[in-house]
Structure 1
Amino acid sequence: MIEFVSLGGAGEIGANCYYLNINGLGIILECGMHPQKTGLDSLPKFDLLDNRPTDYVLISHAHQDHLNALPFLIKKFPHLKIITTPQTRAVAELTLHNAISILKRQVNEKDFEIYTRDEVDLLIKSINYKSYNEKFILNSLTSAQVVEGEFFDAGHIIGSAGILLRFDNKKLFFTGDINLSAQSLLAGAKLPDEKIDILLTETTYGATDSSVINNWNIEVERFASSINKVINNGGSVLIPVFALGKLQEILAIIWLQMKKNKITSVDIFTGGIGNKINRIYDYNRYLVNRKEIDLVLSDIPQKNLFELDDVEQLFKFPCIVLASSGMIIESTNSFTLAKIWLHKKDSAIFTVGYMDPSTPGSKIANAKRGDKIQLTDRDSKTEVKCEIKNFRLSAHSKREELLELVSTLNPDKIVLIHGDNEAISWMGNSILKKFPTKKVFAAENFYKIIFD
């Protein structure tokens, strides 16, 4: 018997955490914090693990909504064994330390005990790492069940992995966040070359009409041309990015286009943890499925955004600013800068990825010059004076690619996760229309699904 329970991340882009009980062997997939919530509300529902077997935690990649609750889980269940890829382990060391200062600023709850730097150091040392396609065994003293695990490059960010579990002549594949198409640095996901019995798949772009998404190279050309237009008019461009993944891809695009003289050479401002993550991309460029292997991100000329004495210096001469967070969440650097940028008529804010509808980033992405927008309940309405333009440079698969994934892996049972209700509805209906004999489940948080 296989029991599946979503502790978070079902019907949402949130605190991804999924529990599997495979004949008494307990495996937790992911352990993320909800990026739009704070304190205890941001964590998966760990209490559901009480009185259930718990043996392993497998982490697909190091984004906040897949990783950052891990110290809280280990504090509650210190016996758990953690396994991920070596690249995710390296990034996790940076991001979990960085999260401590963010949590201290955001959270003031008596019952929410923030983990310490020493605890992060101990946790990182305890992580066992396995390379792509290196098989590993999962077993337990309390169960006779043995499971073989294997990581497959998911093409999403550095170290991201799909997770294949083999047991009792059955195969379960968890996509994590997956991108089947190439980006500028990462070459796209690799899939198991075998039939899958149970598929757990993300659905992030299930509600997005792919006809509005250009081919990557065409979108890069539109992106470069739009940057040039702003720069040549004397303006500066703010590009909100996630420090992990999106920063590296966009920085590579900008630099490669500058080298081709398709973007005018101007100062590029970055800073913070993203620059440290750049070095992990550089170190691993021969070890992952990577394009532009000779491109060293740390060698690209960059100015430190955090060394500016006055933000107005960014408008003295045209420049490009890459600032996190990607969704322009309140209290982040991109949020602070966006509030200034909105008043600059010659400048522009360019979005380059998914925006949760509840975020300030979504309000900006859906605005145009002359609109009046209110970023948060605490802000007054602001007239948009800068240019706003949106680009689809996604690290997730298009919905048709997810359907093709179903066709390739040919699972009998499919569980839909990591997407809003509209995305899951489209995916579920489309799968059943194309593959009417398959069983499709829309996971719900805190409810179990039983497989024979």
Structure 2
Amino acid sequence: MTVVETSDGEVLEFIALGGGNEVGRSCHIIKYNGKTIMLDAGVHPAHTGLACLPFYDEFDMSTIDILLISHFHLDHAASLPYVMQHTAFKGRVFMTHPTKAIYRWLLSDFVRVSSITPRSSNAAPVLFTDSDLQQSFDKIEPIDYHSTIDVDGVRFTAYHAGHVLGAAMYFIELGGLKLLFTGDYSREEDRHLSAAEVPPESPDVLICESTFGTAVHLPRREKESQLMSIISSVIDRGGRVLLPTFALGRAQELLLVVNDYWKSHKSIQNTPVYFASNLAKKALTVYQTYTSMMNESIRKQFRDAQSNPFHFQYIKSLRSLDSFFDAGPCVMIASPGMLQSGTSRELLERWAPDNRNAVIITGYSVEGTLAKDIVSEPLQIPSMRDSSVLIPRRCMVEEISFAAHVDYKHNSEFIDLVKPKHIILVHGESSPMGRLKSALLSKYNSLKGTEQEIKIYNPRDCEILQIPFKAPKPAKVVGILAENQPKKDDTVSAIAVQRDFRIQIMDPSDLRAATGITYSQVIERQRIRVYGTPSLIEHHLQQMFGSVAHVKQEEYDTVIEGLEVMDGIIVWTHPQESYTLAVIEWAGNVLNDTIADSVLAVLMSVGTSPASLKVTAKSHKQSHGSDSLVERIDRLTAMLSQQFENVEPVFESGKPKPRAMAKIAEATVGIKVSVDEIDAIINFSDWSVESTSKALKSRVQHVLAQILETISPLSQTDNKV
């Protein structure tokens, strides 16, 4: 299905291969102006094997230029080795330094858990191996926050997202279009992370998470108080508390909360607290390394107290349940958070039948996972090893969300701050996302139909969303032109060079140094015979183009003259006996080609144009004296003969006809036209017509007027031809 917002301009194409009206397997494609960017490559926690992947088979992965990973959680990054090693993907991959450090350990654990999970004979294959993970890891390029990376015209900058350590939102610029991808983000500062940043520029498109829809979170302090109150009551009645959580991210936040509470309450300090995760020790090492990327509270403890807040005095790390002595009350923070497998699932099945115990869901639960199902307090839960075996559920179930996702309040405030023109909602179940879209449409309803209107979309997986844009295409002047800026009305010869989306205007002499490209100029020539003199050619060109400049060049010790038209077209003239050979020469380009075509058309009409007769007659009178009069009388006689049968010259009365042709013109005072023995005399003195027939007189006057209009110099020669 394709959703198209019709308008003129370039088209942004957005495709959710995962994370469209769902939480899990986040993967989004952006296509614009020949560039393709992929955002995240996760898996769906409720599925296994190929079924957990985004819909990679619905897209040509070889066309992707850049892949940006927002953070290390499995639903955003766990299919990256599959993409890099088992698809046609050839692009570059970027993530922040902490994300890359944690990604390696997190996915190693993912491979280990996938390999040891009980599997049936028809179970789906493992997505990738440790070898795939290592090879993909070596190709990942780590980046710093606030550093701008340029890849073939695509610029992107990472900003703090607040969700987990290393989480980034990306501000992307390509071809004048600006996009902001939030990934998972939080606008509330917690015990170790700062709130998400607001980029300094407003995007045209905001790709925004919608995990909690229109829900509003409790304040952090209130959630912490509620959590510790439940834990204390369970311990007082001799029960055990299970806090399923991701191994990295929210787990570290909960560890800080619990450790601080134990430190200030001596009455429960004898109750053990465990962190059950194979990644615990490695994870804490990474967290200790990147304290500079945490909030001021953490940095202050390192700087002033010189103590490590991630050295937990009251919490013990538990690598496996084999070394766990399960006796008496305790608190267990265990992964994974979705209760699909692993330590948290094993402990749930062990503790669920006892009504003194409690399981507290502290993170976001994805549809289709046990963590989501158990919130509804089912009477039984299926066994991890055999789903046909049902285990009674008598333990208490509570849900207190410490998930570092924005609620409606923070999400809408952030949208107001960044001021996007278009919002694409992702990473949210269909119902919460739909409610969020409706709430935002209502909020911005007053802007509908104005230039400030905000359009909101919530595409489903594999649905193609097309949004047109008229993005500006700025050009930068560089090199000599930038150093010596032309003045107003100056004519500048320059070359425009486009690399991806960047346009540079430079002097031709700078081209090689700036780009490594050389250039050549194509000189075009056209030869034509013109039946007229060079002066006649100049006259016609002046009539068409205005001022025409005279130019000369030496060729084999001979000076050739020419005419330059419109500062670009040169007509070299080579006079011959009965014609002039004209050579049209110009530098090939769109403008010059058009002018050259016009010059050629003018030259082809010189020999047949009535204007040529006027110019020729006048020039002959001025330069050749009586010889030209003979020619003109012959021409006038010839033109009259075309209309009348008998035409002959009239001489002065009483004088004989001269014998010499040169004297005939001087003696001629008129022309006699005869039709059916009726005469009409044309007097050269005043161009009057005399005749006994009014009809013939009128006809001769009419024909004479047309001839005189054509060869007007005849009437401007001292009352004589």
Same fold (TM over 0.5): yes
Work out the CA distance in 2 between the residues paired with 1:439 and 1:206: 17
- Map 1:158-307 onto structure 2 (within 5 A): 158-208=165-215, 210=216, 213-261=217-265, 264-265=268-269, 266-270=271-275, 271-289=277-295, 291-293=297-299, 294=301, 295-307=308-320
How far off its partner does 1:233 sit?
2.5
Match of 2:406 among 385, 397, 402: 397
Distance 1:274 1:366, change over 3 A: farther
Task: Tell me the SS of whatever aligns to 2:46.
Answer: coil
The one of 43, 46, 55 aligned to 1:36: 46
Aligned to 2:332: 321
**In structure 1, what is the equivalent of residue 432 of structure 2?**
423
Q: CA contact under 8 A between 1:15 and 1:33: conserved in structure 2?
A: yes
Deviation (angstroms), 1:201? 0.6
Distance 2:142 2:296 in 1: 20
Instruction: Give the counterpart of 1:334 among 334, 344, 355.
Output: 344
Amino acid of the structure 2 residue aligned with 1:184: R
Q: What is the rounded CA distance, in whole Å, between the counterparts of 2:267 and 2:441 in structure 1?
A: 45
Is the CA contact 1:155–1:178 (under 8 Å) kept in the aligned structure 2?
A: yes
Give the structure 1 partner of residue 379 of structure 2: 372
* Structure 2 match to 1:125: 138
Residues 56-75 of structure 1 aligned to structure 2 (within 5 Å): 56-75=66-85
Match of 1:99 among 83, 105, 110: 110
* Shift in CA distance, 40/155, structure 1 to aligned 2, threshold 3 Å: same
Question: How far did residue 262 of structure 1 move?
Answer: 7.9
Task: Flag the structure with larger Rg.
Answer: 2
Measured after TM superposition, the shift of residue 408 of structure 1 is 1.0
Equivalent residues of 2:96, 2:168 under 8 A apart:
yes
Establish whether residue 351 from structure 1 lines up as the match of residue 361 from structure 2.
Answer: yes
Alpha-carbon deviation of 1:264?
2.0
- One-letter amino acid of the structure 1 residue matched with residue 145 of structure 2: Y
Deviation at 1:54, TM superposition (A): 1.3
Please give the residue correspondences for 1:40-55 in structure 2 after superposition, counting only pairs within 5 Å.
40-50=50-60, 53-55=63-65
State whether residues 10 and 445 of structure 1, in contact with CA within 8 Å, keep that contact through their aligned partners in structure 2.
yes
Matches of 1:394 and 1:137, distance apart in 2: 33
Percent identity between matched residues is 26
1:263-288 deviation line (CA, Å, top 9, x unaligned): 72232212311332122111111234
Q: Report the CA distance shift for 1:114/1:361 in structure 2 as closer, same or farther (over 3 A).
A: closer
- Quote how far apart the aligned CAs of 1:129 are: 1.1
Please list every run of 5 or more consecutive structure 2 residues that lacks an aligned counterpart in the other structure: 1-10, 302-307, 446-452, 469-721
Residue of structure 2 aligned with 1:136, choices 149, 154, 161: 149
Is the Cα–Cα contact under 8 Å of residues 200 and 415 in structure 1 kept in the other structure? yes
Q: Partner of 2:466 in structure 1?
A: 450
1:6-17 mapped onto 2 (5 Å cutoff): 6-17=16-27
Amino acid at match of 2:149: F
Question: In structure 2, what is the Cα distance between the partners aligned to 1:134 and 1:15?
Answer: 27
Deviations along 1:315-371, one digit per CA (max 9) or x if unpaired, are: x23221011111211x3221111111112232221221222242222232222xxx6
Contact 2:64-2:89 within 8 A present in 1 as well: no
Give, in whole Å, the separation in 2 of the partners of 1:273 and 1:351: 20
In 2, the alpha carbon distance for the partners of 1:261 and 1:292 equals 22
The code of the aligned residue for 2:16 comes to S
SS at match of 2:435: helix
**Partner secondary structure for residue 286 of structure 1:** helix
Give, in whole Å, the separation in 1 of the partners of 2:187 and 2:465. Answer: 27
Distance 1:167 1:193 in 2: 17
Q: Which amino acid is 1:449 matched to?
A: L
Cα deviation, residue 296, structure 1: 3.1
Q: In the TM superposition, what whole-angstrom CA distance separates every residue of 1:96-150 from its partner, at most 9, and x where no partner exists?
A: 22221222245676984642222222211211111111111122xxxxxx12101
Instruction: Give me the whole-angstrom Cα distance separating, in 2, the residues matched to 1:126 and 1:309.
Output: 37
State how far apart, in whole Å, the 1-side matches of 2:455 and 2:136 are: 38
Give the letter for the 1:64 counterpart.
L
- Unmatched 5+ stretches in structure 1: 140-145
Cα gap change, 1:131/1:65 in structure 2, threshold over 3 Å: closer, same or farther? same
Question: Which residue identity lines up with residue 352 of structure 2 in the other structure?
Answer: L
> How has the CA–CA distance of structure 1 residues 308 and 317 changed in structure 2, closer, same or farther, with 3 Å as cutoff?
same
Give the superposition deviation at 1:297: 1.7
Q: Is the 8 A contact 2:192 2:294 kept in 1?
A: no
Q: CA deviation at 1:79?
A: 2.2
Q: Is the 8 A contact 2:214 2:407 kept in 1?
A: no
Determine helix, strand or coil for the equivalent of 2:355: coil
Does 2:441 correspond to 1:435?
Answer: no
The residue number in structure 1 matching 2:15 is: 5
Of 259-268 and 92-101, the range deviating more from structure 2: 259-268
In structure 2, C-alpha distance between the alignment counterparts of 1:319 and 1:133, rounded to whole Å: 43
Give the Cα separation in 1 of the matches to 2:131 and 2:322: 33
Distance 2:335 2:55 in 1: 28
CA shift in 2, pair 1:58/1:263, >3 Å:
farther
Letter in 1 for 2:190: Q
- Number of aligned residue pairs: give it: 437
* Partner in structure 2 of residue 143 of structure 1: none
Q: 1:381 to 1:93 in 2, by over 3 A?
A: closer
- Cα offset, 1:81, TM superposition: 0.7
Match of 1:142 in 2: none
User: If the length of structure 2 is used for normalisation, what is the TM-score?
Assistant: 0.58
User: Quick one: which amino acid aligns to residue 189 of structure 1?
Assistant: A
Give, as a single letter, the amino acid of the residue that structure 2 aligns with 1:327: M
2:329, 2:317 → 1: CA distance?
Answer: 16
1:148 matched residue in structure 2: 155
Judged with a 3 Å threshold, the aligned counterparts in structure 2 of structure 1 residues 309 and 98 are, in CA distance, closer, same or farther, namely: closer
Q: Which moved more, 1:319-328 or 1:352-361?
A: 352-361
1:414 to 396, 403, 423: 423
Moved more, 286-295 or 21-30: 286-295
* Contact 1:17–1:29 (Cα < 8 Å) also in 2: yes
Q: What do residues 49-78 of structure 1 show as CA deviations (whole Å, max 9, x unaligned)? A: 327621111000011111011111112135
Q: Residue 257 of structure 1 aligns to a residue in which SS? A: helix
2:370 counterpart of 1:360: yes
Q: Measure the CA separation in 2 of the matches of 1:441 and 1:338.
A: 40
- Partner deviation per Cα, 1:223-251 (whole Å, 9 max, x = no partner): 11221222222222111111111211111
Amino acid paired to 2:51: D
1:389-442 Cα shifts (integer Å, max 9, x gaps): 221222111022111121111111111111011111111111111113211111
How far apart, CA to CA, are the structure 2 residues paired with 1:234 and 1:262? 17
Alpha-carbon displacement from aligned partner over 1:181-221 (angstroms, at most 9, x marks no partner) = 1222212211212211101011000053x2xx321101101
